[in-house]
Amino acid sequence: MPPLSRRTWSWTFDLPPSVLWPVLADTNRFNEAMGLPPYLLEETPQPNGTVLRRGRGKAAGFTLEWVEKPYEWVLGRHFNVSRVFSRGPFRRFGPVFDLEPDGKGGSVVRYALEWEPLTLMGRLFGRRLAEQAGGAVARRILEAVAHLKGERETPFVLPPPELPPGARERALAAAAEIDRSPYGNGLGRPLAGTVSGGMASDLAHIKPKRLARQLEVPPRAAIEACLAAVRAGLLTMSWDLLCTNCRGPKLSASALSELPRGAHCPSCNIDYDRDFEKNVELSFAPAPSVRPLLEGGFCLSGPMVTPHVVVQQLLAPGERRRVSVDLPPGRYRLRTLHPGGTVDVEHEGGPFPGLRVTATGVEALPPGSGEAGTIAFMNEAGFELAALIEDRTWTREALTVPEVISLQAFRDLFAAATLRPGDEAGVSQVALLFSDLRGSTALYERLGDGAAYNVVREHFALLASVVRDHDGAVVKTIGDAVMASFGDPADAVRAALSMQARIADQDLSLKLGVHMGPSVVVTLNDRLDYFGSTVNMAARLQGQSDGGDVVLSRAVADDPAVQGVIDDVPKREEEVSLKGFDRPVSFVRLLQAPLPRQGERLGEGATHHL
C-alpha cells in the first residue's frame, strides 16, 4: 500500500485564534468557495449503534464514492478528517488544520493536506492534484483572513450564482413590497441582495439574529423584515425540529400545525422529542423562484456544523489518547456520536474529567487523572467510535417559538398560524401585560358612543405601537382591555411605563398589571393564545391597579433586569387576597410612570425606533 503523502502551508496572522477559528473551520463555506458541488450522505445504522455514512459526488472531473469518517477537532485549535474512497484517484484524502497563539496576540496557522493514491491516476499525478486542491484552499484562507481584517468586503471572490430567468426582477419587486410593509424596516434591498448574491451555504437556513449582525441592525428589525419577506415572496419559512444531539434541523414543517411532537435523527441514530423553547427554531430560505438551492450541503460534518461540540475524537477499538485542551468553566456533557449514556459535568475550572467509553455507555474519569492541561479519552467498547465533549448551553442565536409568537409582526402577518387541534406547547416563562381603561363607561356617557369609540380605538393603536416598540405582541383585546406578551419581563415593564407616560395627557386613566411565569400555548378562537395560572394572575393584578400606576407581581419586580428599570420609580409593596388563589399575593405598585431612560429599551445601549 503506498504511503500517506502530506503537503503543508503555514502563515502567521495578527488576529487571535478565537477570531480566526469560526471562519477557517467553516468547511461548508470553504468547499462551496472551492466550487465543489453539494452532496448528500446515505446513512445506514450499524448493529453496534454507529452510523455508516456513504457519499457520492464529483470533483475536478472525477466521480467519487467514499465513506465519511467523523471529523476530529479541538475547538479553536485543530481539526482533521479522513474520507475513505472506493472510487476516485485517492484512497484517502483529507485536511489537517492547526491553529495556535503566536505569543504576541496573533496566531500561527498550519494547513496540511494528506492523501493516499487509489488508482494509477492518483499514483502518477497525486502530488500535483493534491497540491492544486490544497493550494486553492490556501488561497481561500488568505481571502477569508483579509475579510476578517477589514481588507475585503466579502470572505471569498466568487462568480455570481446562476439564477433562473426573471429571478432578479422578482427579487427587486419583492424588495419594494417589503419596504412598503410596516415591518420591512428599510431592509428590502439588502435582503434581496443577500438572497440573489449570497453563498448557498449561508442561505439554506437563514437565522435572523445572525443576519441582524451582518446587516448591523437590531435583531427585531431583521426578524420582522424576514417575516415581511415571506409575505412578499422573497423568502420561505420553516419550523425546524432540531436534533437534541447534533442540533441540526432533521425535520422541518412550513406551519406550526404540521410540526410533529418528535422525530428521528439518522445522523445520530436517536429519536428525540419536541421542546418549543429549546429545539424548535424558525428559519428562512430563498423562495425557489428567486434563488433555487440544490439539495444537500458542501460539508456535512465539519466543526462548525456542530459548534456546541468543543472536542470530538475518533477512537479505534482499545485506543487511549490524551488531548491537550484547557476548557473554561461551564456546563458540559460527555457522550458519543452513537446512542448511549451521557455524563453531565459542571466544570468550575482546573482539571477536566476524562472520558471512558465501554460497551454499556460513557463514564467520567476523575479530574486530573492524567497530565495537567490534557483530557484522557479511552475506548473500551470494542469498535471504532467518536467520543466528544459538548457545551450544554443552547445558543441564543436560534429564533424559538416563544420568541416568535411574542412578536407583533408575526401575529399581524401570520394570524392564521396556529397549532393543530388538541396540540399544545408549554413555555417555561412568558411575561404578560394586561391593561384596561378605568371609567370607560363614563367616557361613553360623556363623549357619546361615536366619539368615545374613536378615542378607545386610538388608545388601542397607541398601546399596540408601544408593545411592538418593546419587542412584544398584542395577544388579544377584550372589550377595552389589552393582553400582550413579552419574552423579556424587563421589556414588559418598560412598555407599561411608556404606556402610562404617553397616555397621561389624553384624559384617560389606564390600569396595568404585569406578571411572568410558565404558561401553555394553545389555539383559541383561531389564534395562538396563552392559558393557565400565569394568565389568571396577570389579569387579577391588573384589577388591583388604580389607574395611572403599574402593578407588578413579585416575580417580575424581583427580576434583576427589571430592578434596573424601576430603581428610580417610586413604589410601594402591598399584599392582597385574590380570587382563585389560596394565599395572599404580594405585589409592587409603581406609583409614577416616567418614560424609560435613554438606552434602557431593547438592551441596545440606545433607544431605537423603527
Q: What is the pTM of this model?
A: 0.86
Name the 3-class secondary structure at 172. Answer: helix
Rg (CA), the chain: 28
pLDDT at 443: 62
Among residues 289, 278, 286, 312, which one has the least CA distance to residue 395? 278
CATH superfamily of 418-603: Nucleotide cyclase, GGDEF domain (3.30.70.1230)
- Cα of first residue to Cα of last residue in the chain, in angstroms, is 66
Q: How confident is the model at residue 522 (pLDDT cuts 50, 70, 90)?
A: confident
Most confident of 80-94, 165-179, 386-400: 165-179
The mean pLDDT of 588-601, rounded to a whole number, is 59
Strands 107-117 and 5-13: antiparallel
pLDDT digits (tens, 9 = 90+) for 303-362: 999 999 999 999 999 999 999 998 999 999 999 999 988 999 999 988 999 999 998 899
Q: How confident is the model at residue 419 (pLDDT cuts 50, 70, 90)?
A: confident
pLDDT at 205: 93
Strands 354-358 and 374-380: parallel
- d(C-alpha 17, C-alpha 19), whole Å: 5
Most confident of 248-252, 439-443, 512-516: 512-516
pLDDT at 452: 58
Among residues 409, 402, 199, which one has the least CA distance to residue 281? 402
Dihedrals φ, ψ of 171, to 5°? -65, -40
pLDDT digits (tens, 9 = 90+) for 219-230: 999 999 999 999
CATH number of 308-391: 2.60.320
Q: Is 93 exposed, middle or buried (0-12, 13-18, 19+ CB in 10 A)?
A: buried
Mean pLDDT estimate for the chain: 89
b/e per residue 1-27 (b: at least 16 CB within 10 A): eeeebebebeeebeeebebbbebbbbb
Among residues 392, 401, 351, which one has the least CA distance to residue 239? 401
- d(C-alpha 464, C-alpha 448), whole Å: 24
Residue 300 cell numbers, joined: 456535512
Paired residues of 482 in beta bridges: 435, 477
Name the 3-class secondary structure at 439. Answer: coil
CATH class of 5-148: alpha beta
- d(C-alpha 456, C-alpha 72), whole Å: 63
Among residues 367, 318, 365, 322, which one has the least CA distance to residue 347? 367
pLDDT at 84: 93
Task: Decide: 516 and 523 in contact? Cβ < 8 Å.
Answer: no
